[in-house]
A and B are shown apart, each in its own frame.
Chain A
Amino acid sequence: MNSNNNTFTDKFKNFSFVLPAFLIFSVFYIYPFIYTFILSFHRGDAISGLEFVGWANFKEVLIYDKDWWRSMYNGGFITFWALTFQNILAFCLAMGVDRATRTGKIYRVIFFILPVLSEIIIGLLMREILISNPGILNQWLKNIGLGFIANNWLGNNKVLLTTALVHCWKGFGWAFVILLAGLQTIPEQLYEAARIDGANAWQTFRKVTLPLLTPVIAMVLVLTILGTMQAFAMILALTRGAGGLTEVPVMRIYNHLRGSQVGLACAEGVVLGIMLIAISFAMLYVSKRIRRRWGVLPS
């Protein structure tokens, strides 16, 4: 039964359900989207007046600004650690918890506490623990007999690595939950069939788990890249940029906005956004190719 007669007023009444969402979305997503591009070709303050400068901001960002590329390197460095260390750890934990069904739930509850806490809380808490005075982590290490690792964690040599590790520490629970959800969708019968065929643990992992999990892994990798390259608040709370040593791209955009270099900030945003979109599409394409090659996806 369909009483929606197709008069104009009827369609308009139907559309009015979407209208509030559409208005808010237009003002706070579509308009910023377009305005970012427009602003990136301008210089000056948006309130007192803008001056068209053509490609100058992009030239500045892409060619002359060494600090921008350093911030991209810092972001890339943290992303590299998140992609390797964080995700491999999360994967191992997910595999372990997937097997230990009886205690699995409590582990999942604990591992996911850190991702639900805010970036500022984690950043400030770890700053208090890591900062050389009073040096809490160094005290802990001394107490358990690992005093020789003690270090000036937020000092110039270590600060970027420390930031990357804290980021992984906060983020692994998130990757863990998604990977575990993926693992639990693999039907038990497949494992049984593999066991009956005489496959050992490695073969089961290589021929059953890994191919079926490829789409989930690809998704986690893409979201890790997107999330980490845009991470900012935790790093601000943890190190304050450490004089450029841990300045990440979004922190630079934020600082340029505060220093009323709006055009430059937008140009940087456009460059970063395009790079991120390109990377995520490339990753999804590769993942599809892999799945096709292994014959998991009906191509």
Chain B
Amino acid sequence: MYYRAKKIVILILLHAFLLSVALSCIYPLIWMLNVSVKTEDQFRSDYGMKLSVKPDFNNYKTVIFEGKLGSYFINSIFYTFITVFFIVIISSLAAYAFARLNFPGKNAIFFMFLAAMMIPLPAGFVPIYILLNKFFIFFNTTFPFLQKWAIAERSGYVAAMTNMGLSLSIYLLKTFFDQLPRDLEDAAKIDGCNRLQIWWNVGLPLVAPALAVVIIFNAMTVWNEFVLASLMFTEDKLMPLQVGLMEIYNRNIIQHTLIMAALALAALPIILLYLKMQKQIIKGLTAGAVVG
């Protein structure tokens, strides 16, 4: 009886502790959502403490159209999709070669990719910024008619971001390719597939779970990237969401409800994606940690 009571008390204390920490995580987010559907006057009177009974979505309308959040959002989607597409193709090709094919210097190159994950380059964005700036000038003077679509800026940023995700993706996919039975590939070879066809028809479908991790994890990294984007893009029409949020904040510093609507719009896709795919995200995170 005594032990049972003691056990229950410990359980209650434990859950009180866990619950209070959990509350501290989600309360600010709920508050953010709640404030985003208030008018500025309502916010001034209750500081977002009271639940909004009649939600008012004008803030969202204003911030998307007048605050240009819509265009930042589209830019972010564009950069994320293109970058993740390139990461998937390039890293799965390389990972397949590291796992299955032979060429001189294989181990050295693979080791280089691993080392890149462990060696911090805190000023890495400085030379990349300089390099890309030179490229922009070169490109825009050579092809002035392409300047209005900002091809150089967009593709430069996408290329730099592709590199950021390569090492981890190659490592993750290689460990998956290593585990595949060779029989299937041999069968495909007998049926007359070349290397590229085996990679596409046999390899990729079999590592689909790892590809999901690579896609989700890199999509979040690109979506959340700020430093390089803030250096690269000085024009409003090119900015991705993270840089745009800072702009929106600076322009509407006293309109708290408007800012909360912007933050909520930026946070919601990530939260929904996370709730749907949390297994893959956590797998990507722990894989990254194991290497480091």
CA–CA, A185 and B129, complex, Å? 43
Q: Which of B21, B122, B170 contacts A21 (CB 8 A)?
A: B170
CA–CA, A67 and B281, complex, Å? 38
- Minimal Cβ-Cβ distance residue in A for B113: A25
List A residues 28-70 near B (Cβ within 8 Å). Answer: 28-33, 35-36, 39, 46-47
List A residues 130-156 near B (Cβ within 8 Å). Answer: 134, 136, 139-140, 143
Given the known A-B contacts A28-B128, A124-B259, are A181 and B195 also in contact in the complex, defined by CB atoms under 8 Å? no
Please tell me if A27 contacts chain B, counting CB pairs below 8 Å.
Answer: yes
CB-based contact B24/A237 at 8 Å:
no
- Minimal Cβ-Cβ distance residue in B for A3: B189
Please tell me if B32 contacts chain A, counting CB pairs below 8 Å.
Answer: yes
CB-based contact B96/A17 at 8 Å:
yes
CB-based contact A97/B18 at 8 Å:
yes
CA–CA, A46 and B136, complex, Å? 14
Please tell me if A164 contacts chain B, counting CB pairs below 8 Å.
Answer: no
Please tell me if B274 contacts chain A, counting CB pairs below 8 Å.
Answer: yes
- Minimal Cβ-Cβ distance residue in B for A12: B103
CB-based contact B123/A125 at 8 Å:
no
Please tell me if A247 contacts chain B, counting CB pairs below 8 Å.
Answer: no
CB-based contact A269/B122 at 8 Å:
yes
How many Å from the CB of B272 to the closest CB on chain A?
Answer: 11
CA–CA, A13 and B93, complex, Å? 12
Please tell me if B71 contacts chain A, counting CB pairs below 8 Å.
Answer: no
**Chain B residues closer than 8 Å to A73, beta-carbon distance:** none
Size category of the A interface is 35 or more
Please tell me if A15 contacts chain B, counting CB pairs below 8 Å.
Answer: yes
Mask, A233-259, CB within 8 Å of B = 1, is 100110000000000011001100110
CB-based contact B28/A36 at 8 Å:
no
CA–CA, A161 and B270, complex, Å? 28
Please tell me if B214 contacts chain A, counting CB pairs below 8 Å.
Answer: no
CB-based contact B32/A177 at 8 Å:
no
How many Å from the CB of A186 to the closest CB on chain B?
Answer: 15
Q: Which of B21, B127, B282, B285 contacts A266 (CB 8 A)?
A: B127
Given the known A-B contacts A14-B195, A110-B25, A126-B28, are A269 and B134 also in contact in the complex, defined by CB atoms under 8 Å? no
- Minimal Cβ-Cβ distance residue in A for B17: A96
Mask, B127-171, CB within 8 Å of A = 1, is 111110110010000000000000000000001101110110010
Please tell me if B256 contacts chain A, counting CB pairs below 8 Å.
Answer: yes
Please tell me if A265 contacts chain B, counting CB pairs below 8 Å.
Answer: yes
CB-based contact A29/B127 at 8 Å:
no
Q: Which of A17, A36, A222, A257 contacts B292 (CB 8 A)?
A: A222
Mask, B266-292, CB within 8 Å of A = 1, is 110011001100100110011001101
CA–CA, A16 and B121, complex, Å? 28
**Chain B residues closer than 8 Å to A12, beta-carbon distance:** 103
7 A-B residue pairs with Cβ-Cβ distance under 8 Å, sorted by A, are A17-B93, A17-B96, A36-B127, A119-B226, A219-B289, A269-B122, A276-B122
Q: Give the 4 A-B CB pairs with smallest separation, nearest first.
A: A269-B123, A17-B97, A28-B163, A118-B224
